[in-house]
Structure 1
Amino acid sequence: MTEGFWLLPEQIQLGIRAPQSVLLRLSTGIVLQRKASVWAIRTVWIDWVEDDYLKYRAAYWQPHFTREEVVWAQHGEDWLFLGAGFFLSYTQRTDSARFFALPEWLDDVFTFSYPFLNLLVQILNRQGYTPLHAAVIGANDRFVLIPGKQNTGKSTTAASWVIQGGQFVTDDFCFLQADEPTTVYGFYPTFRIRKEGLSLLSPYLSANQFQQKGDSKYFFSTLVHCADRFVSRAPIKAIFCLTRQGSTLSHTHVSPKVGFAYLASSLAFAVQHRASSQLCIQAMRKMVRELPVIQVNLSPYVTENYAYLNELIAMY
């Protein structure tokens, strides 16, 4: 077994002990360090254990379950997350976790579908952090949050921003403290692009730079192709609520109520991953009160959008 370390806020680190081949695969999707941080005051160890997977599969998996289904089992503070070819568990008493994935599941599960997110939520929620369903883009310490209202193009916008030279924290989710919601933390430097968004990015990226998972999702690892574009922590200056109506670029200030409506998917995201809904609502309310909320209408033209967003972000 070899070790890799994944740094979190609050001087927490995850120490992953697994075969070298597994750590190499994981390192294309998460930022692993070779050595433990000297600043960490808490290390949560995660060990690769095939025997536990076989045991839990025999106990919980049913013959009629499909490949897409997962099992969540909780006993007090201990929990288990089990899929058709993987598992992740956490034990409160030892503050440690275990995981395993069949070889054919490694990329699908740990690089692209991030079950580690369940562990991050459980650890950070107790520290006052809540997950947020949003993209975060920017440059030079000026970043904006793009809430995750469906089909408004947050991932495609974030991807086109990055491949033209911008920086990003996330295209899908981040963490923030409920009482300090203007600093966000990102963990997965991989874009998830829907099939319909590929045509917008095709002038900048070749098909072999994407990995297809399923019929409609494509993944682009910035750690492989442009590692310097990922920022793990950033200050938020504004909330951009995206629309796409026609080809006219425009923006207007809107009420906190609009921002809260765009952030509403974060509440469902938090509940889905067993985070505190009250903590999430607290962060959302504080964020829309403290930050300007801007309705931004983008065009179908990626280059125009980049120039426009660049100017707009610089204003806040």
Structure 2
Amino acid sequence: MSAAIAIDVGGTSMKSGLVDAAGRVLSHTSTPTPGSVPALLEEVAALVARHEREALGLGLGGSLPVGLVVPGIVDDMAGIAVHSANLHWDDVHMRDLASARLGRPVTFGHDVRAGALGEMRLGGHARSMVYVAVGTGIAAVIVLDGVPLVSGGWAGEIGQQLVIDPNSTRRVALEQVASAGAIASRYAQASGREVAGSREVFEAATAGDSAAARVIDTALEYLAESLADLSCALGPLPIVIGGGLAKAGEPMVSVLRDKVAELLDVTPMPTITTATLGASSQIIGAALAALDAAGTQVPDAQEAS
């Protein structure tokens, strides 16, 4: 049985896992994200060592392929973390640094593109689609015939589209209104009540909280406008919603579908569904990329069925 080690670096935590070629997460862990690149590399080495001990215990051997994905603007081909506002780095040659620290090749890429790869290959979604991750920020991955559009790392940054702030006349980034993080913070401002995340806001709206309902409705309206624009530019490619917002499930997607349908006139309505692999999509995608680079054949879900 083939397996790989996958590490997904987030703004506040790092998720890692031992993943087999069928996409099964055999073990996983979450640790705080270090505040500097040298400390991050040491944590990556520690996580790889931990998962390799687990792999040996499972009879999977050692020196497994490693997939590392990070947020922000990422040039997958050059192996460079171009920019991350949350982690305060610019033009970090992350692939080379991680490979040197581990003493082996490291497959490196963008966290959301890894999620799109996992969903396309093992989540049962089409080989041409738009994967939209709505979490702390918002990013989209345009996948055409199995290949994501990268454009030096800048493709799909729909979270940076400028929109009118619903509370003022200022122009702000879309993710300041419609991301899961923005939903939580805007509800806190509107209600005076702090919440742990967007899921609590959805629950409050369902329970009849009018402030929560307004925040949710506005966020989905703005997100729908962005998705409608994408459909007009790309045609009705299937849209898959991932990230924290997807946890709200079918009720959220149903409202989003209706709002997109209201906006589209000539362009056909795309299918809009939630991600199948959930919180594991980025770990699984990073592992699949590492297995691909190592020459392990991993069939798509469509091919395996």
Give TM-score scaled by structure 2 length.
0.27
* Structure with the larger strand share: 1
The structure whose residues are more often helix, as a share, is 2
Higher relative contact order, chain-length normalized (CA < 8 Å, sep 6+): 2
TM-score scaled by length of structure 1: 0.27
